[in-house]
Structure 1
């Protein structure tokens, strides 16, 4: 009897191997997405709990909220997309000037 593990993938057909690979990739992606969601909630809790002490901090908080809003806009809402992009450009310009 051998203590070496048996490579089961080699005993199955290509379609089954491919399906297993896809399931593994999907499970990995879902795990990463869960970590990212938890990190986003942690950031948002910090943004809620910590009052800003300067204009750059206020701009960073506003930039985060604007990016969340921008992500919810549909492609047909070009006016609001342009408005958010303009405000974000203003923040970047003011950051570089200071």
Structure 2
């Protein structure tokens, strides 16, 4: 039985070591992306499961959708970036002005 493990990476040439590292990194990124897609699907299922109980929940759904839109090419337009930033600031301002006790009855 071998007492000392052999460092295969150290025995490879530089090109092979780099290729191995790139392959490991690519697999790690692919695994992270798969986990992210699974968490995103779970979040979307939760968001769609029931109507919002109040404005705060509705705003969270809107923030999520706006965030998805912000990642698209259509959102690269500076005017749209300004609109997104302004809308998110409006959400913060309006929710803060509303107060936590009035969330369930806002808009009635």
Which range, TM-score by smaller chain?
A: 0.7 to 0.9
Rounded Cα–Cα distance in structure 2 between residues aligned with 1:46 and 1:62? 14
Given that 2:69 and 2:75 are in contact with CA atoms closer than 8 Å, whether structure 1 keeps it comes out as no
1:70 aligns with 2:70: yes
Aligned residues: 97
In structure 2, stretches of 5+ residues that fail to align are: 100-108
Given that 2:9 and 2:17 are in contact with CA atoms closer than 8 Å, whether structure 1 keeps it comes out as yes
Instruction: Give 1:94 deviation, angstroms.
Output: 2.3
Moved over 4 A (4+): none
Q: CA RMSD in A?
A: 1.6
Rounded Cα–Cα distance in structure 1 between residues aligned with 2:71 and 2:47? 19
Instruction: Give 1:28 deviation, angstroms.
Output: 0.4
In structure 1, stretches of 5+ residues that fail to align are: none
Rounded Cα–Cα distance in structure 1 between residues aligned with 2:68 and 2:9? 43
Deviation per CA, 1:13-56: give whole Å up to 9, x if none.
11211110111011101100110011111101111112211111
Normalising by structure 1, what TM-score? Answer: 0.86
Instruction: Name the counterpart of 1:90.
Output: 90
Rounded Cα–Cα distance in structure 2 between residues aligned with 1:69 and 1:42? 19
- More deviation, 53-62/2-11: 2-11
1:56 aligns with 2:94: no
Normalising by structure 2, what TM-score? Answer: 0.79
